[in-house]
Structure 1
């Protein structure tokens, strides 16, 4: 059993990572981190001192690939993921209607329970 977290380069990503570490401790399991940002490498300094075993998954495929599809594909490839943790930000009704978001797609399409946290 594992906890997976999708981490964009944002305040919401930091909140998701902190909540995922707490969730992994609670479930006494490991953490799978999928960086969604444009950074070339993911900074693991916060995870190194957490005491939670973790692995960082590089996104596969084209650089312009949809982040939600990358996370959903990873979930499909792994049958040991018990929970997905994502960060959310507040959006207006018009913003939700006009433009989809990675978080919204993951909430609706994830095959495992989703823990959504706000910064």
Structure 2
């Protein structure tokens, strides 16, 4: 059993990581950290008290983020939930722009825990 998290370069990504760490600790399980950012994680960003498997992308030219996450979920059968950070979008935004989170929610082979950025952090 393990918790996966897809981390992006956004407040939603940071909130997802924090929530996934809390979930992994509560379940006393490992964490599969799928890095969708364009930087490498530093040691101080990765909790030392958890068994963390870090998956990095190779840059902008890498696969579609949704495909990358789904591939990692299929490669790691021990994952039993995925944590994603989400934000509200307008109806027009939903129609015109695809949402990585929305596509993952619809396609994930495991249950998805969605978390929103706390109101105070959005200001």
Please report the TM-score for the alignment, with normalisation by the length of structure 1: 0.90
What is the total number of aligned residue pairs between the two structures? 117
Match of 1:117, SS? strand
What residue ranges of structure 2 are gaps of 5+ in the alignment? 118-123
Local SS of the residue matching 2:53: strand
Unmatched segments (≥5 aa) in structure 1: none
Whether 1:32 aligns to 2:5 is: no
Aligned to 2:47: 48
Q: Which residue of 1 aligns with 2:19?
A: 19
Cα distance, 1:37 vs structure 2: 1.3
Q: Secondary structure of the residue that 2:46 maps to in structure 1?
A: helix
Cα offsets for 1:84-119 (capped at 9, x unmatched): 001111110110011111101110000000001111
> For the Cα contact (< 8 Å) 1:60–1:70, is it kept in 2?
no
Partner of 1:7: 7
SS in 2 for 1:84: strand
Change (3 A) 1:54 1:64: closer
Q: Distance in 2 between matches of 1:60 and 1:79?
A: 23
How far off its partner does 1:48 sit?
3.1
Check the 8 A contact 2:36/2:56 in 1, yes or no. Answer: no
Moved segments of 4+, more than 6 Å: none
8 Å contact from structure 2 (residues 38, 60) kept in 1: no
Across the aligned residues of Structure 1 and Structure 2, the Cα RMSD in angstroms comes to 1.7
Q: Secondary structure at the match of 1:82?
A: strand
